[in-house]
Amino acid sequence: MTLVLNEEQVMLRDAASGFLSEKATLSHLRAMRDSDGDLPYSTDVWLEMVEMGWAGIAIDEVHGGLGYGFKGLGILLEQTGRHLSASPLHSAISISATLIDKLGSEAQKAEMLNKISGGSFLATLGLQESEVHKPASICTKAEKTPGGFCLTGSKVMVMDLHACTQIIVIARTSGNSEDCSGLTAFMVSNEADGISTERTPMVDSRNYGRIKLLNVEVQDSAVLGEVDTAWDGLSATLDIANIGLAAELLGLSEEAFQRTVKYLQERKQFGNFIGSFQGLQHRAAEIFAELELCRSLVLKALHAIDQGSDELPLLASATKAKLCEVAQRATNEAIQMHGGIGMTDDYEIGFFIKRARVLQHIFGDYNYHLDRYALLSGF
């Protein structure tokens, strides 16, 4: 069985849905947005998630995790998409913990992964430097100093920046700005001298940040793994992270779609339910079909992560591309089929389209991944 959930996984899904529908709903997100608070999510709710083992769900048992694999994490992310629940599951777990696992020395892994599983340590990734995802295009420089490195550069779109104490900064230690080689990952404290951070709320009402690094001094021990060789681990992490983003997009799109179908069943015009109009019925049925394909791809990709499949890069790009395409269609149609009320902030459907576009953007959108998928397919 690779594409269906087993009993344990079904229980996890139901438990997650139950928890989130009470503790981390769209109304919570709205309240957080309207309170102008600094934190991107509720710390109390996150601690409860940690208690349930979510922080270490994909981390192996040796490092304090649950060892449920990425299918487990994917199930959680899908549910956070349904409820639009804010949490650091992408930034700290799906991304940072994976990168530490891919690049870190045994000692680094032992130290940091255990803490992440236990909820006492949160790191986020500083990768992107320009408007769009170009992972090898890194200008942030790290120059060798006696006993360490000196970092200068800038990063944008750093997820949950204000909740994390450490930033994994991808910097160039050699080569030119488009090279895959010559990249190094550094663990940098967000309070280090020379670092300045700016909170950049995005359209999805979550918290992101920009960082400027000006001659930030770090020690040799801040290097995650080895100097100059971060690319392979980074690339593998991005594949996994994109599948995680796709899992959230799946939950989000299905929820937006189900709300829309419900509206079609309830709203009357011309003396009939609008859902009886074939012009809308067929569009809804097509989205249903596309969502079924999306579910299969997400499960296939999550399974491939857990199997260590060679096809992972191809599947990651396929899955992210497909989910971007369908999420865009489902959320656009959701607004259109709701008519005027869909445009109002009071009504909830608008939150889905906003979250979708940010998830679509992070680590490469439809255009990026369809292109990469074709390249990996040999054309």
Partner 1 sequence: MAELEVFRHDVRSWLSENCPKSMREPVKGFEDFYSGGRDPEIVNPDQKVWCDRMAKRGWTVPHWPEKYGGGGLSSEEVNVLQQEMHAIGARRPLDSFGISMLGPAMLEFATEEQKLEHLPPICRGEIRWCQGYSEPNAGSDLASLQTKAEDNGDHFLINGQKIWTSYADQCDWIFCLVRTDSSGTKHEGISFVLFDMHQPGVTVRPIKLISGSSPFCETYFDNARAEKRNLVGETGKGWTIAKYLLTYERAMISGFGTVQGKSLGDSAISAFGKDHSGRISNGILRQTIAQYQLDAMAFSATMSRVGEEVTAGQGLGAASSIFKYYGTELNKRRNELNLAVGGESALGWEGQAYNEGIVARDWLRSKGNSIEGGTSEVQLNIVAKRVLGLPSE
Q: Which residues bind partner 1 (CB under 8 A)?
A: 1-4, 261, 264-265, 272-273, 275-278, 280-282, 284-286, 288-289, 292-297, 299-300, 318, 321-322, 370-371, 373-375, 377-379
Q: Which is nearer to partner 1, 241 or 294 (CB)?
A: 294
Residues 6+ apart with CB under 8 A from 337: 260, 263, 264, 274, 280, 283, 284
The dihedral built from the CA positions of residue 154, 157, 163 and 165, taken in this order, carries a sign that is negative
Q: Which is nearer to partner 1, 120 or 377 (CB)?
A: 377
**Taking the complex as a whole, how short is the minimal distance between the CB of residue 375 and partner 1, in angstroms?**
7
**Taking the complex as a whole, how short is the minimal distance between the CB of residue 284 and partner 1, in angstroms?**
6
Task: Count Cα neighbours of 165 within 13 Å in the Cβ-side half-sphere.
Answer: 7
The single-letter code of the amino acid at 136 is A
**Taking the complex as a whole, how short is the minimal distance between the CB of residue 95 and partner 1, in angstroms?**
24
Q: Which is nearer to partner 1, 231 or 373 (CB)?
A: 373
Residues 6+ apart with CB under 8 A from 261: 275, 284
How buried is 172 (Cβ within 10 angstroms: 0-12 exposed, 13-18 middle, 19+ buried)? buried
**Taking the complex as a whole, how short is the minimal distance between the CB of residue 266 and partner 1, in angstroms?**
10
CB contact at 8 A, 213 and 195: yes
Residues 6+ apart with CB under 8 A from 310: none
**Taking the complex as a whole, how short is the minimal distance between the CB of residue 334 and partner 1, in angstroms?**
14
Q: Which is nearer to partner 1, 299 or 349 (CB)?
A: 299
Helix residue ranges, H only, 179-311: 231-266, 278-307
Q: Which is nearer to partner 1, 112 or 370 (CB)?
A: 370
**Taking the complex as a whole, how short is the minimal distance between the CB of residue 1 and partner 1, in angstroms?**
6
**Taking the complex as a whole, how short is the minimal distance between the CB of residue 363 and partner 1, in angstroms?**
18
Of 50, 69, 49, 51, nearest to 59 (Cα)? 69
Q: Which is nearer to partner 1, 276 or 307 (CB)?
A: 276
**Taking the complex as a whole, how short is the minimal distance between the CB of residue 321 and partner 1, in angstroms?**
6
Tokens at 153, concatenated: 């550069």
Q: Which is nearer to partner 1, 125 or 299 (CB)?
A: 299
Number of H helices, E strands in the chain: 11, 9
Q: How many degrees, rounded to 5, is the angle at CA 289 between CA 286 and CA 290?
A: 90
Q: Which is nearer to partner 1, 28 or 82 (CB)?
A: 82
CB contact at 8 A, 263 and 337: yes
